[in-house]
Amino acid sequence: MSGATREQRIGEIVQRTRAKPARFRDEHITMAHGAGGKASQSLIEGLLLPALRNDALAALGDAGAVAVDGVRLALTTDSFVVTPIRFPGGSIGELAVNGTVNDLAVSGARPLALTLSLVLEEGLPADELRAEIDAIALAAAAAGVQVIAGDTKVVERGHADRMYACTTGVGVLDPRAELSTSALCPGDRILVSGAIGEHGMAIMLARDEFALEADIRSDTRSLWPAVDALLDAAGADVHCMRDATRGGVASALNELARASGVAALVREREVPVAPAVAGACELLGIDPLYVANEGKLVAFVAPARAQAALDALRAVAGCERAADIGEVLAEPPGMVLVDTAFGGRRVMDLLAGDPLPRIC
């Protein structure tokens, strides 16, 4: 038995080490720092937070809140550097609108307006730019927001992968919403708004590094209708929401479990994944729970209203496959556990960087 106790002690030491705020000790920025995993976490907690110190930022929500004359506003910003700029299911322009709209939405704010900054690469064909501007206009109209200010810069050939976009969004915090990253409660049900892993796999396939063909399309869309439905059905019983972008559902759950000091338990069998996404992930040795989404949220809802919330979500166009995928536990704090489809249980940690395909 002493073996088991010693193992437990090591586990506790590891947990304590992980629970400390991440330090930023790297000498160079690598791609891992942008992947939404541990490297990103070290950059945010170890460099940005200490330097920019304030309560709003420290909450590490998808949007920051400010109050102006009693009106609670949410502000958020996001940059979009995806390559290729057009891919099945969408383009960089759509991401630029929906990504920021969604950060506002999952923070409980009705999106109002966006600003748009474009960095264009010298030599970008005008038709491509026109196509993106049209996409932005369409997406903004669909999301019910206006682009009210902007900026354009041009950089030399080779410096912007055709184009980069940055959007800042403002929204008004909805009175029905009482959301916080530290509000997860043991017993809360974890809802996901649809099948996962589509955007990330669509991009991976579009990059053609792996020569895979599949009918996988980005899921980019505005999440406000889903949020609206959830708040309507469950109001303040929705404790937190997050859009599961880079790093996927796994990263979102890890971040929130850490912020609230609770554990999340996922039932793998309940997680909706489209067959083609599952097939592509199997081929490459990637777990769909880590793959980026651009039109999916996770929501933590008090158990009494969880079924009503799920029913309301399923009635929203595009959320028909919404599911209850697990629950919040009190222990072990900051960890995400998975009850595997096979019946065993395992930990689901943050990845160090991007999920990389493996051969082994």
Partner 1 sequence: MCLAIPGRVVEVVDDADQLAKVDVAGVRRTVNLALLDGDPHALVGSWVLIHVGFALSQIDEREALATLELLQEMGEDYEQQLRELRESVAE
Partner 2 sequence: MRFVEEFRDAELGRALAAEIRSLAQDGRTYKLMEVCGGHTHSIYRYGIDGLLPDEVELVHGPGCPVCVLPMGRVDDGIALAHEPNVIFTCFGDMLRIPGSHGSLLDAKAQGADVRMVYSPLDALAIARRNPGREVVFFAIGFETTAPSTALTLMRAKAERIANFSCMCNHVTIVPPLRALLDSPALEIDGFIGPGHVSTVVGARPFQFVPEDYAKPLVISGFEPLDVLQSIHMLLTQLADGRREVENQYARVVPWEGNPRALAVIAEVFALRPHFEWRGLGFISQSGLALSDAYAELDAERRFDVPGIRVADPKACQCGEVLKGAIKPWECKVFGTSCTPERPIGTCMVSPEGACAAYYSYGRHAGQREVAV
* DSSP notation for 38-49: HHHHHHIIIIIH
Q: Which stretch binds partner 1 (CB under 8 A): 187-195, 211-219, 241-249, 343-351?
A: 211-219
Q: Which does 67 bind (CB under 5 to 8 A by kind): partner 2, partner 1, none?
A: none
Q: Does 150 bind partner 2 (CB under 8 A)?
A: no
> Please, what's the b/e burial string for 4-27 (b: 16 or more CB within 10 A of its CB; e: otherwise)?
eeeeeeeeeeeeeeeeeebebeee
CB of 254 to partner 1, least distance (A): 24
Residue in 108, 125, 130 with CA at minimum distance from that of residue 63: 108
CA dihedral 168, 172, 175, 176 (to 10 degrees): -40
Cβ-contact 77, 168 below 8 angstroms: yes
Q: Which does 304 bind (CB under 5 to 8 A by kind): partner 1, partner 2, none?
A: none
- Which residue lies nearer to partner 1 by CB, 6 or 207? 207
Binding mask of the shown chain, residues 268 to 307, with x at each position contacting partner 2 by CB under 8 A: -x-----x--xx--x-xx----------------------
Residue 58 CB neighbour total at 10 angstroms: 14
Tokens coding 111: 């999106």
Rounded Cα gap, residues 244 and 225, in angstroms: 16
Rounded Cα gap, residues 155 and 46, in angstroms: 31
CB of 82 to partner 2, least distance (A): 18
Rounded Cα gap, residues 233 and 310, in angstroms: 9
Cβ-contact 121, 155 below 8 angstroms: yes
Q: Does 359 bind partner 1 (CB under 8 A)?
A: yes
Q: Which stretch binds partner 2 (CB under 8 A): 10-18, 55-63, 93-101, 219-227?
A: 10-18
Binding mask of the shown chain, residues 119 to 138, with x at each position contacting partner 1 by CB under 8 A: --------------------
- Which residue lies nearer to partner 2 by CB, 31 or 126? 31
Rounded Cα gap, residues 337 and 347, in angstroms: 4
Cβ-contact 174, 109 below 8 angstroms: yes
Q: Which stretch binds partner 1 (CB under 8 A): 65-73, 99-107, 258-266, 271-279?
A: 271-279
Rounded Cα gap, residues 324 and 93, in angstroms: 31
Tokens coding 341: 């489809």
- Kindly determine how many residues on this chain lie close enough to bind partner 1 according to the rule CB under 8 A: 18
- Which residue lies nearer to partner 1 by CB, 47 or 214? 214
Kindly identify the residues of this chain, within the stretch 275-314, that bind partner 1 according to CB under 8 A: 275-276, 278-280, 282-283, 285
Per CB under 8 A, the list member of 51, 67, 211, 317 interacting with partner 2 is 211
- Kindly determine how many residues on this chain lie close enough to bind partner 2 according to the rule CB under 8 A: 53
Q: Which stretch binds partner 1 (CB under 8 A): 4-12, 59-67, 328-336, 352-360?
A: 352-360
Kindly identify the residues of this chain, within the stretch 13-72, that bind partner 2 according to CB under 8 A: 13-15, 17, 25, 28-32, 37-39, 42
Q: Which helix (H) or strand (E) holds 282?
A: helix 275-284
Rounded Cα gap, residues 88 and 210, in angstroms: 16
Over the Cα atoms of the chain, what is R_g? 20
Which positions lie near partner 1, rule CB under 8 A?
A: 210-216, 275-276, 278-280, 282-283, 285, 358-360
Which positions lie near partner 2, rule CB under 8 A?
A: 4, 6-8, 10-11, 13-15, 17, 25, 28-32, 37-39, 42, 209-211, 269, 275, 278-279, 282, 284-285, 332, 335, 337-349, 351-353, 356-360
